[in-house]
Structure 1
């Protein structure tokens, strides 16, 4: 498709394309024919949610399966029900699952694909900004438990991801803000020359990023593609999150804790925005960054119209307890923090520092 940007996620024989641009979803049938993982598929199970009015044509026999709205869909019971429905449909190991929706859909559809018949190919068509720049790329799938977010899941890379920027035009403003929190995160990870080179279908964009052009100068498909390239480069260096991939969780430790506490009516990206400001506060208290760098965090968040204030009624003891349940907390409470050499995962943070940062928020 003319004007579509292509970003490759380089994982050897499991590499796959991410196509970005207006109308990218209409490439689905050709992608299924051309991918070695889906070329022989006879059936497509399209997983989506009520109210997602995005037409897709896989070019083969298909059936649509709806999961519940919101985070309540991210439960093991939903995955069990989906797999039973796949069986009744006649989905085989050689067929394909297509996730059409936001991060909840791609997380659930991807996990169902990973465990059904011990692995069925999946293609994602993310319909939210958050889904396009983050959730649908990288192969992390999963569901929640009462004790925490994404505690049950699998790494299951898609055969392709189609980011149709056309569908973003109809998103409500708050849904866009939910993506802006993740977008702000990428400003602090940065686009390395290696990441820029993954944008193989738009030489001028790759050259601009390779030359250090900031993300703030980009819009639309170019901005989505740049974020995808940053994530693809990090994923390629650490697919199963044993080290560097943890950097993609910048801002997420407090963000996830606020979501788990569940009383604050926050979308994921809104919670991450608060978490970014908080992580900067923690880094400042530890002497890792100075006041100017904290102010830079606040400027980026302001530029996207993100409110990074702590919600009213927050229980500091509860939040710090939730920090200890975070997936990164292998060596004590662990945060991804900014510092003189960029972002890194810092284990064993003193709860007193974390409490002080909460009080300063």
Structure 2
């Protein structure tokens, strides 16, 4: 079992990684917790006993349910039950569950504690860590949300034993991103438990320096600008990690066209994506104009088209990218 401390202003919280880690949940609840609202989905395949009075609230699966309506449903259910600030929310599931439950926890009574029990690889290495929560709008992915740090995160690797192969593979798309961030060198040589822990360490260091994405934290969105556009335009036909894999290759192609990286560096991106047998092309039928429009709405976009791009000094935020160069780079991943 590995414990990684995630520092946030004024405190830190533990992320527990290992097989059977969910059994640590009762000790991870905030002191004095009276009751727990467990948010999960049917078919998750994993439960976790918080050790206090609790009630389970199921939400629907899929990005179509990642909406303000689902947040309203949870908050109204909690109000009916009488949940208070002395209680706690426990989210058990993948990134969709932790995003929605975390946002509902941040909103209900203007904030109740939340603990995330991540059951997917993508959730373990990314979504459950760092306090970003949110839901989708028809206009784009994760456009409404809040920064709300959890009290603890549990990454029980036993959950991955029954994860569908596509879901597990998609998680590697998010993990692949960390290979290009500070501390990601040598990530490929670690066993899975250490890989998850190292990804958490990388993200924790970045979040500690920029909790609310004022600058540095935006590099955690490496590969995500096109990924989110693909997900929205394609009505979430690709899993998030699959879209991120394509987004990584697009970001590399764009960086090469801007003279930021070499052909060899682009090849490394392709090697890593291929290693995990992830998609390497934009799905057919998605229009370039639509994708460019959606990328222009990205949360990072402050001055024209904005991307996290690799370069000699590592991944950086690049603003004001020429739309025609961005369009040409789409051709590189077609």
Give your verdict on TM over 0.5: yes
Give the Cα separation in 2 of the matches to 1:55 and 1:76.
25
Aligned to 2:113: 121
Deviation readout 1:91-146 (Å, 9 max, x if unpaired): 11110000000000000000010010111000000100000000000000011111
Aligned to 2:33: 41
Aligned to 1:107: 99
Aligned to 1:5: 2
Secondary structure class of the residue paired with 2:179: helix
Q: 1:110 to 1:333 in 2, by over 3 A?
A: same
Select which of 171, 186, 189 maps to 1:179.
171
Deviation at 1:74, TM superposition (A): 1.0
Aligned to 1:155: 147
Secondary structure class of the residue paired with 1:305: coil
Give the Cα separation in 1 of the matches to 2:332 and 2:158.
41
Is 1:77 matched up with 2:101?
Answer: no
Select which of 193, 200, 203 maps to 1:221.
193
Give the Cα separation in 1 of the matches to 2:9 and 2:246.
36
Secondary structure class of the residue paired with 2:180: helix
Give the Cα separation in 2 of the matches to 1:53 and 1:258.
29
Give the Cα separation in 2 of the matches to 1:264 and 1:249.
18
Query: TM-score w.r.t. structure 2 length?
Result: 0.98
Deviation at 1:147, TM superposition (A): 0.6
Give the Cα separation in 2 of the matches to 1:182 and 1:133.
7
Aligned to 1:190: 182
Aligned to 1:317: 289
Deviation at 1:263, TM superposition (A): 4.6
Aligned to 2:264: 292
Structure 1 segments (4+ residues) deviating >3 Å: none
Return 78-87 or 257-266, whichever deviates more. 257-266
Give the Cα separation in 2 of the matches to 1:164 and 1:9.
17
> Is the 1:264–1:311 Cα contact (8 Å) retained in structure 2?
no
Aligned to 2:240: 268
Aligned to 1:201: none
Aligned to 2:128: 136
Deviation readout 1:20-76 (Å, 9 max, x if unpaired): 0000001001112xxxxx211110000001111212111110000001111122111
Give the Cα separation in 2 of the matches to 1:143 and 1:135.
12
> Is the 1:324–1:332 Cα contact (8 Å) retained in structure 2?
yes
Deviation at 1:83, TM superposition (A): 0.5
Aligned to 1:17: 14
- RMSD value over aligned CA atoms? 1.1
Secondary structure class of the residue paired with 2:89: strand
Give the Cα separation in 2 of the matches to 1:138 and 1:11.
8
> Is the 1:337–1:343 Cα contact (8 Å) retained in structure 2?
yes
Select which of 208, 211, 221 maps to 1:249.
221
Is 1:333 matched up with 2:330?
Answer: no
Structure 2: which 5+ runs fail to align? none
Deviation at 1:359, TM superposition (A): 1.5
Query: TM-score w.r.t. structure 1 length?
Result: 0.91
Give the Cα separation in 2 of the matches to 1:254 and 1:59.
42
How many correspondences in the alignment?
Answer: 333
> Is the 1:108–1:142 Cα contact (8 Å) retained in structure 2?
yes
Deviation readout 1:262-289 (Å, 9 max, x if unpaired): 2572000000000000000000000001
> Is the 1:181–1:273 Cα contact (8 Å) retained in structure 2?
yes
> Is the 1:186–1:227 Cα contact (8 Å) retained in structure 2?
yes
Q: 1:264 to 1:107 in 2, by over 3 A?
A: closer
